[in-house]
Each structure stands twice: as C-alpha cells, then as structure tokens.
Amino acid sequence: MPGQLSPRSRVIESNEVSSRGRPEGGNDTDLALLDRYRQGDRRAFTELVVRYHRPLYNAAFWILRSAEDANDITQIVFLRVAERLDEFDPRYKFFSWIYRIAVNESLNLLRRNDREEALDDEADWPGPDDANPETRASDAEFSRRIHGAMMRMPANDRAVLALRHFSECSYQEIAQILGLDEKTVKSRLFDARHRLRDMLQDLRAN
C-alpha cells in the first residue's frame, strides 16, 4: 500500500478518529453503486454512505480537530455528492473526488470560523503483534503522543499527513484531492514529516 506505515505507526487512534483507510472494494465497487443510483436505486446511495462515512469523518476530523464539526462536514459532503453527481468524471477515482469535497469543505469551515491554527515511509518502529503488556502500554502512549502532536500542527500539515499515512493515498491521489501538483505534495509531506519528527524527538530516541 502506498504510504503504509509500520505496525506501530498504524495504531494511532483515539475515541474520535481511527487509522482505518479507504473503503474496501476499490473504484469498481464505487462505480457500480453510482450506476445503480443513477438508475434510481436509492439503496445504492445508502451503501455509498455506509462505505464512506468513517473515512470522510476521519479526513474531516484530522483537519478540524472537532468531532462535532467533522460530523457536520461528513453530512454536508454527502449532500454535495447527491447535488453534484453529474460533475463526477468516471475516468477518475470516486474516492479522490469525494475526499476532495471533504477536504475543501473542512478547510472552508476553518476559514469561515477564522480558525487555524514526521512520519517516515521506512520508519522501523516495533510492532504490537507479539508485544508483551509493557510494550503494548508503551504503544498506546506512543499513539497518543503522535495523535496529540498532529492535532497541534497546521491544518495543511494534518491534511497531507493523514491522506498519505492513514488514507494510504499515493502522491498522485493526494495531488488530485488537494488540487496540487505532485512536486508540491512531496514538498509539503517532507516539511510536515520533519516538523512532526521534531515534535516527537524524545519518542524516537527511545
């Protein structure tokens, strides 16, 4: 998977957001559901909501840092999808299109409210699979620290890190979602990872 983190990195979770990435089944499943919906099958749209509710909530939460706002944005995104479905180009991936709506709506909310505010692809951190209780407790603290550090970062940093490492998007996909070129995406990721790494120096030293 592009941007996949080591097992220890993937345990970053809280009561409000999980590390679960994109829905299973891929673009073919999405396109089949969209085709059914266009033919009048309303249950197909319900299935899309079920598939994408948690991933979209996660994407919004990483930007907004508010469970209530993330829930509101998730509902707005599905309304936008229903309204703009004719704008979707099936030559592209549906998840990139719907994630872009979620990110844009989240950033717009930050601007309206006047609110604003690394993870290495090859990082070799211990995994939790065969860990003893002491190590598992350490993993939980590690997860809380990374989550807390990311929540203190600027929204643009949080967005690009979350898309790469939690939604497992490729550079090309992130570029489509954020409306950037791939070179800019790589530059933003590089800078954001270094800022996060600096915030977590004590953890990496252990």
Domains of the chain, start order: 1-206 (1.10.1740.10)
Mean of pLDDT values over 47-64:
92
Q: Residue 91: is its pLDDT beyond 70?
A: yes
Query: Residue 204: which of 150, 154, 145, 161 has the closest Cα?
Result: 145
Question: Cα–Cα distance between 82 and 65 in angstroms, integer?
Answer: 26
Q: Residue 8: is its pLDDT beyond 70?
A: no
Q: Which tokens go with 10?
A: 């993937």
Q: Residue 4: is its pLDDT beyond 70?
A: no
CB 67 within 8 A of CB 46: no
pLDDT tens, position by position, 104-157: 999 999 888 765 543 333 333 333 333 444 444 456 676 777 778 888 888 889
What pLDDT sits at residue 114? 67
Question: Cα–Cα distance between 134 and 171 in angstroms, integer?
Answer: 36
Work out the percent of the chain whose per-residue pLDDT is above 70.
73
Q: Residue 15: is its pLDDT beyond 70?
A: no
CB burial readout 99-128, b (16+ within 10 A) else e? bbbbbbbbbebbeeeeeeebbbeeeebeeb
Mean of pLDDT values over 11-35:
67
